[in-house]
Structure 1
Amino acid sequence: MGSVAGDDFSSSFQPGASGAEGAGPAATPAAGPGYPPPAQAWFTVGVLATVTTVAMLDQNILGLLIQQIKADFNLTDAEAGLLLGPTQAIFYALVAVPFSRYIDRWTRKWIIAGGLIVWSLATAASGLAANFAQLFIARVVVGAGESVNGPTAYSMVADCFPRDKLPRAVSTLQIGSVAGSGLSLLLGGLMIWLVTTLGSPDLPIVGTLRPWQVVLLALGLPGLLISLLLIKVKEPPRHNLRLKTRNAGFKKTISYLWLHVAVFGPMFLGLTIGSLDAGGRAWGAAFFERTYGWSPTQYGIVSGVVSIVAMLAGLYLGAKWAEWFQNRGDPAGAYRVILYTRLVAIPFAIFQPLMPTPELAMAFSSVAYLSLGMNGPMLNAVMLAISPNEIRGQVMTLYLFIYTVVGVGMAPFVTGLTTDHIFTSPDDLRWSIMLLHVVFLPAALAITWLGLKPFRKEVERLNAEDARVA
């Protein structure tokens, strides 16, 4: 496969395309023409996965702490839902989308480093919040910093590997998401237990901190050290340049997506509908406490271990399954993994909130974690595989924008509103979660399925184009 799906114009904008960081003798055959050597490429993925771990840790920790925060600030479920969701979404809309064009032009590792420093400081500041307004503002800034990480990291990974290697590369990058999500539960639960056992510290000026404040303050600072790892990362040369412009803006991106709506439309619409179901995960700790009497510590430790094991298994199995399809001549293998794993997981998701014991509920949750580990990376891999480099950062920003604004932003709030106004009792949180599963998951699967044939045709077209250029 050629490194550039374009013409001579494309190669003129590949930094180092004839030097040490581009094609030529420095790249081994396994790397593919023009791609970084495998050791360099996998080091880049490892560092980006570590940064993603910090991002997910800082983003997801609030779900474990929300019951304590709700009690301290005397919040309703809807107000708590605002902290869990829209705080992440507001600045994603205001920062990530306008900024995304620079992902396709600037040195990407410095964009990630800047975002990491911002969200780490904001997470620490969240631990010093004395009221709802202060915490809301701090979490908005966390969302601002994290908004640039995902699209930029995916853009870099897509320039480190050929198209057929992306499922494994993206799955490896997603280890950061798995580790961050699991550690937010595991470390958070252990830290709450530790602070509760030893007592809250009494700091100068701010006074005695609540356990949830200690957790946020402690988790925010390590990101500053991890940002130093990005100094050792080499910016990969850009590949798959096809639009004959290096300054493609948002209008150009929308025009391209509309021109190829048959393949992009089902992905975007399916993700939008499916993301509305994500509120149940944000309310997981509250659900287990209200329904089964589990403490945040107990839920955090058990759910953290289960999610890490199940999702790591899912990352491995999902990549292997996609490669199994590809090795048998199906270029849409990653897309099939998305469809088939979702189909199997839907019944478990619907019945999970109705389980009579916490053990059974956690067992059903493990199926959801396994499915998420299998199809989550494939969602990003299929989008990267067909997006031109000149607008790849903007396409991924729009794609992740949907998940962040709808899934992270609106879904927890919708779950809280449903509990407050439809089922009316906090003990009925299980019915709110189940209702979202029933309404949104089957619809999202059906719409996403419509994109299978168009995606396969698009990949076949791009592969043929690459072969002519090579």
Structure 2
Amino acid sequence: MVLEKRFPSPRYAWTLVFVLLCASVVSYLDRYILSLFVGPIRAELALSDTQVSLLQGVAFALFYAVMGLPFGRLVDRYTRKNLIVVGILVWSGMTMLCGLSTGFWQLFFARMGVGIGEACLGPAAFSMIADCFPHERRGRALATYNMSNYVGVGASLLFGGLIISLLSHGDVAGFWHGDSLSGWRIAFVGSALPGVVLAFVVLALKEPARTELMRSRAGATSRVVGLWAFFRARKRAFVSIYTVYALTAMVGYMIVAWAPSFYMRHFHMRPADVGLSMGVLAIIAGVGGCLSSGYISDRLIASGAHGGRFRIPLLWWPIALMSIIGMTQSPNAAASLVFLGLLTFGSALGLSSAPAVIQDVVPNQLRGQAAALHFIFAGLFGLSLGPTAVAMVTDYVLHDPTRVGVSLLVVIAPLSVVGFIACWLGQSHYHRIRAELLSILETKIDNSLPPGEHVNGERGMEQQVR
């Protein structure tokens, strides 16, 4: 007997994407709010620069990465929307506690809680969205969710630029000194409130039915699939996938960390202008890259292209090489910013393909864990090695802080070549494991069918054979 299940209606599926997108944007606001108020926090709590760096980096990023895989396992076994709700409430509550902290260690543990709470969102969101759309339309949905990376960062940069601009005019100088230091506390509490509201909105969502479940040898659905055993049998493809996207994230972290310094040191731009310019570019170019990635991704699937969605990074890496050369070698800031926009577009194009590429080659029982590994590699390697590599070239090779642009070029150019080669070598392996997975899944997807239509037989959109 064949039992057919339908995907949610397109309207509901996109509503779910929008709600999760909003949750992700709020997570970025809560994540980056500390960087906007470093001055008053240092003054009131008597912190050193080293302590501030620990609050911005280790306190959040380490625990965000470490908790990713355990949460990924929970995502693969339990109701995902409930896990997201708990995560939102945890990071929102911890953000409020940041605003109530009276010392370094209180703030450190509160930031740690923010990282732990946010670690659940990405894996759960990827898994839920993948279950709401047929294979040939999944790329656009996941890329749309991924816009939160650029909208969140861009909004933070814009907000920071506006704050710096106001302070430079002296209109709100009292906010930065003296009796008005509680302003940063109000900001933390205020930024946590949208999360509380969103938690109830997410709770009202309907948990989508799980699709693309792997069978056991007896033919029944296997609730648990061994992550490392699955990966070992397909290690060449997964090494290529995680290498390509870790390097992509690394380039992005380097640009976020050092591009502002490049424009201030090389072109002598004002900090406020840098924040506003980069904020606008991050939103416009980033959103454009994400939407383009989703469209191209689904077109590649519809055309049956060899390598499928994993061909998109082959477009990104040449863009990275060309744009970093143009950005750092341009004669003026305006021309350089054009290339920065191109680099941001390319980064979004490449990175936004990651969720769909990964979800397409793992069964449902491993979707959360596979997504968590992406965040672990992108966070630990991209965040820890990328910006540090640029700094080391500047300090120990060039010995000149004004040549940070040359450091960016020296580090990113070879990474672009390595990333392209890794992606090129992984095409056949990726194509093979995707075909292999389709042959053993309970759920089969007919790419010729629009959403909501079903057929009987082996290639039904969603069938459970008994």
TM range (shorter): 0.7 to 0.9
Q: Deviations over 1:57-108 (max 9, x none)?
A: 33345566669988985537xx766555433331024322223211111111
SS of 1:283's partner is helix
SS of 1:161's partner is coil
Which residue among 298, 306, 320 is the counterpart of 1:323? 298
SS of 1:386's partner is coil
How much does 1:427 deviate?
A: 3.2
SS of 1:286's partner is helix
Q: Deviations over 1:131-153 (max 9, x none)?
A: 76655444333222211111110
- CA distance in structure 1 between the aligned counterparts of 2:257 and 2:42, rounded to whole angstroms: 14
Q: Indicate the residue corresponding to 1:253 in structure 2.
A: 227
Q: Deviations over 1:349-378 (max 9, x none)?
A: 244234443322221110111112222221
- CA distance in structure 2 between the aligned counterparts of 1:45 and 1:257, rounded to whole angstroms: 28
Once the two structures are overlaid, the 10-residue window that deviates more, 420-429 or 46-55, is 420-429
2:393–2:407 Cα contact (<8 Å) kept: yes
Which residue among 68, 80, 87 is the counterpart of 1:115? 87
- CA distance in structure 2 between the aligned counterparts of 1:44 and 1:145, rounded to whole angstroms: 20
Q: Deviations over 1:251-285 (max 9, x none)?
A: x1011011111321211123334444323323333
1:331–1:460 Cα contact (<8 Å) kept: no
Q: Indicate the residue corresponding to 1:148 in structure 2.
A: 120
Q: Deviations over 1:123-181 (max 9, x none)?
A: 44445666766554443332222111111100111111122211111112123222212
Compared CA separation, residues 64 and 284, structure 1 to 2 (3 A):
farther
Is residue 346 of structure 1 aligned with residue 318 of structure 2?
Answer: no
Is residue 241 of structure 1 aligned with residue 213 of structure 2?
Answer: yes
* One-letter identity of the residue aligned with 1:120: S
- CA distance in structure 1 between the aligned counterparts of 2:62 and 2:140, rounded to whole angstroms: 32
Is residue 267 of structure 1 aligned with residue 228 of structure 2?
Answer: no
Q: Indicate the residue corresponding to 1:389 in structure 2.
A: 364
Once the two structures are overlaid, the 10-residue window that deviates more, 352-361 or 375-384, is 352-361
- CA distance in structure 2 between the aligned counterparts of 1:324 and 1:303, rounded to whole angstroms: 31
Q: Indicate the residue corresponding to 1:45 in structure 2.
A: 17
Is residue 171 of structure 1 aligned with residue 146 of structure 2?
Answer: no
Is residue 139 of structure 1 aligned with residue 139 of structure 2?
Answer: no
- CA distance in structure 2 between the aligned counterparts of 1:332 and 1:146, rounded to whole angstroms: 32
- CA distance in structure 1 between the aligned counterparts of 2:427 and 2:125, rounded to whole angstroms: 26
- Counterparts of residues 263-302 of structure 1 (less than 5 Å): 263-277=237-251, 278-302=253-277
Q: Deviations over 1:15-41 (max 9, x none)?
A: xxx7xxxx5xxxxxxxxx532122221
1:292–1:357 Cα contact (<8 Å) kept: yes
Which residue among 407, 422, 425 is the counterpart of 1:447? 422
Is residue 438 of structure 1 aligned with residue 407 of structure 2?
Answer: no
Q: Deviations over 1:167-212 (max 9, x none)?
A: 1111121232222121111123224444663344599xx9532877
SS of 1:368's partner is helix
Q: Indicate the residue corresponding to 2:340 in structure 1.
A: 365
2:318–2:416 Cα contact (<8 Å) kept: no
- CA distance in structure 1 between the aligned counterparts of 2:76 and 2:188, rounded to whole angstroms: 33
* One-letter identity of the residue aligned with 1:158: A
Compared CA separation, residues 352 and 121, structure 1 to 2 (3 A):
farther
Q: TM-score scaled by structure 2?
A: 0.82
Q: Indicate the residue corresponding to 2:452 in structure 1.
A: none
1:318–1:374 Cα contact (<8 Å) kept: yes
- Unaligned regions of 5+ residues in structure 1, if any? 1-7, 12-17, 24-32
Q: TM-score scaled by structure 1?
A: 0.81
- CA distance in structure 2 between the aligned counterparts of 1:358 and 1:202, rounded to whole angstroms: 30
2:320–2:347 Cα contact (<8 Å) kept: no
* One-letter identity of the residue aligned with 2:240: P
2:39–2:176 Cα contact (<8 Å) kept: no
Once the two structures are overlaid, the 10-residue window that deviates more, 139-148 or 458-467, is 458-467
How much does 1:451 deviate?
A: 1.3
* One-letter identity of the residue aligned with 2:224: A
1:348–1:368 Cα contact (<8 Å) kept: yes
- CA distance in structure 2 between the aligned counterparts of 1:213 and 1:431, rounded to whole angstroms: 39
SS of 1:104's partner is helix
1:326–1:332 Cα contact (<8 Å) kept: no
Q: Indicate the residue corresponding to 1:15 in structure 2.
A: none
- Unaligned regions of 5+ residues in structure 2, if any? 446-457, 461-466
2:249–2:351 Cα contact (<8 Å) kept: no
Q: Indicate the residue corresponding to 2:464 in structure 1.
A: none
- CA distance in structure 1 between the aligned counterparts of 2:92 and 2:330, rounded to whole angstroms: 38
Q: Indicate the residue corresponding to 1:336 in structure 2.
A: 311
Is residue 460 of structure 1 aligned with residue 435 of structure 2?
Answer: yes
What percentage of aligned pairs have identical amino acids? 28
Aligned CA-pair RMSD: 3.3
- CA distance in structure 2 between the aligned counterparts of 1:414 and 1:87, rounded to whole angstroms: 21
1:273–1:440 Cα contact (<8 Å) kept: yes
SS of 2:77's partner is coil
1:86–1:408 Cα contact (<8 Å) kept: no
Q: Indicate the residue corresponding to 1:4 in structure 2.
A: none
- CA distance in structure 1 between the aligned counterparts of 2:404 and 2:41, rounded to whole angstroms: 18
